[in-house]
Homo-oligomer: A and B are copies of this chain.
Amino acid sequence: MRKYRNGEIWAFEQETTVTRDGSDVVLGLDGGTTSTVCVCMPLIPFSDQLPDPLPVLARAVSGCSNHNSVGETAARETLEQVMAEALSKSGSNQSAVRAVCLAVSGVNHPTDQQRVLNWLREIFPSHVKLFVQNDALAALASGTMGELHGCVLIAGTGTIAYGFTEDGKEARAAGAGPILGDWGSGYGIAAQALTAIVRAHDGRGPQTILTSSILHELDLSSPDELIGWTYADPSWARIAALVPVVVTCAEAGDEVAHKILLDSAEELSESVKAVVRRLGLCGEDGKGSFPLVMVGGVLEANKMWDIGKEVVKRILKDYPGAHPIRPKVEPAVGAALLALNLFMKESKGSLKS
């Protein structure tokens, strides 16, 4: 990955890029803790009938842009570089940009938002519409095709539920990390499986085939060795990678693994329900319709034991109007669609009702 200093990126591009016949474009960014994706799309009229497939002009990928992980300078460099690359690949340039939606993890407070907006404004002139949000927003928009309405449940290594109403209210649940009880997440599932092995070994819990399956997966010979393995590198993703083993054990009929997955489904559905309740997404009679976008490895496991399906079942019981969606496009495209949608709304000078 090339490193640029702020400003140099754009100077470099202006010298070398052949512009794409001056057509207007929008940029959508999804910045996660492992990678950052930017897509460039043409400024098409936003309507109920979007073209299929969507006209994505270019896609660029870079590293982490979470300022909590890499610091502000590196985060900014990464974001600037990936935007420049997407524009360059699409044969466009900075002056063709009409709107940017930047959805990055770690943007939680208005102060984070304002700081990112300020330096985006240094790059783009005042007529360019800028939207800065948490990455959950891109995930939601990838399911709703750019509409900022509904609830998104993300469950990968971590988990969070995020909801938005059409009149601009938002709420979240979970997303506080494993110490603060995100037990439905991939990390939570795997940590509980490891705990179950230790308990069985101690004689504090029932025997389970998780023991042989996970020890085999990790190439360990005894549960005692799990302590060393766990604390040698307690990275959440490394532990969460054991989720497929837990699912396989549950599918083989293991009661302990089965209960861990049921508990996870309960936790995840409770996060969604808390958001729906607080925002009144289900309407006054509790039966109103709203999009429920489901994203992340834990929910996408399309196996016999389907955690996502179990989560949806529990939500529908309380909120029959929930409309589950598994997105067909990636979150960065969701961000670009959101940029398009917001640009149209602002251009019309009024919010869509």
A interface list, Cβ under 8 A from B: 108-109, 172-174, 176-177, 179-181, 191-192, 194-195, 198-199, 202-204, 224, 226-227, 230-231, 234, 239, 270-271, 273-275, 277-278
A181 with B203: CB separation less than 8 A: no
Provide the residues of chain B in CB contact with A226, threshold 8 Å: 176, 180
Complex CA distance for A192 and B183, rounded to whole angstroms: 11
Within 8 Å CB of A181, what residues of B? Answer: 191-192, 194-195, 198-199
Q: Is the CB of A270 within 8 A of B204?
A: yes
Count of identical protomers in the assembly:
2
Given contacts A173-B202, A203-B278, contact A230 B195 (CB under 8 A): no
30 A-B pairs in the complex with CB atoms less than 8 angstroms apart: A108-B224, A173-B202, A174-B198, A174-B202, A174-B204, A176-B198, A176-B226, A176-B227, A177-B230, A177-B231, A179-B191, A179-B194, A179-B195, A179-B231, A179-B234, A179-B239, A180-B194, A180-B195, A180-B226, A180-B230, A181-B191, A181-B192, A181-B195, A181-B198, A202-B274, A203-B274, A203-B275, A203-B277, A204-B271, A204-B273
Q: How many angstroms between the C-alpha atoms of A191 and B188 in the bound complex?
A: 14
Q: How far is the CA of A202 from the CA of B161 in the complex (A)?
A: 10
Min Cβ gap A183→B in Å is 8
**Min distance, Cβ A297 to any Cβ of chain B, angstroms:** 20
Q: Tell me the minimal C-beta distance from A229 to chain B in angstroms.
A: 10
- CB-CB under 8 A from A234, the residues of chain B are 179
A275 to B192, CA, bound (A): 21
Alpha-carbon distance between A109 and B228 when the two chains are bound, in angstroms: 12
- A223 to chain B: closest residue by CB: B176
Q: Which residues of B contact A230 (CB under 8 A)?
A: 176-177, 179-180
Residues on B with C-beta less than 8 A from A195 are 179-181
Closest B residue to A199 using CB positions: B181
Shortest Cβ distance from residue A226 to the other chain B in the assembled complex, whole angstroms: 7
Residues of B within 8 A of A174 (CB): 198, 202, 204
Which residues from chain B contact A273 at a C-beta distance below 8 Å?
204
Bound: A303/B325 CA distance, A: 52
Minimum CB–CB distance from A195 to chain B (whole Å) comes to 3
- From residue A164, how far is it (CB to closest CB) to chain B in Å? 16
Distance of A211 from chain B, by nearest CB (Å): 13
5 closest A-B pairs by beta carbon, nearest first, are: A181-B195, A173-B202, A203-B274, A204-B274, A176-B198
Q: Which residues in B have their C-beta under 8 angstroms from that of A274?
A: 202-204
The smallest beta-carbon distance between A92 and chain B, in angstroms, is: 38
Given A180-B198, A231-B179, A203 contacting B173 (CB threshold 8 A): yes
Nearest B residue (CB) for A202: B173
In angstroms, how far is the closest chain B Cβ from the Cβ of A234?
A: 6
**Which residue on chain B has the smallest CB distance to residue A175?**
B227
Interface centre among A109, A173, A198, A234 (most CB of B within 10 A): A198
Complex CA distance for A278 and B234, rounded to whole angstroms: 30
Which of chain B's residues has its CB closest to A161's CB? B202
A58-B202 Cα distance, complex, nearest whole Å: 38
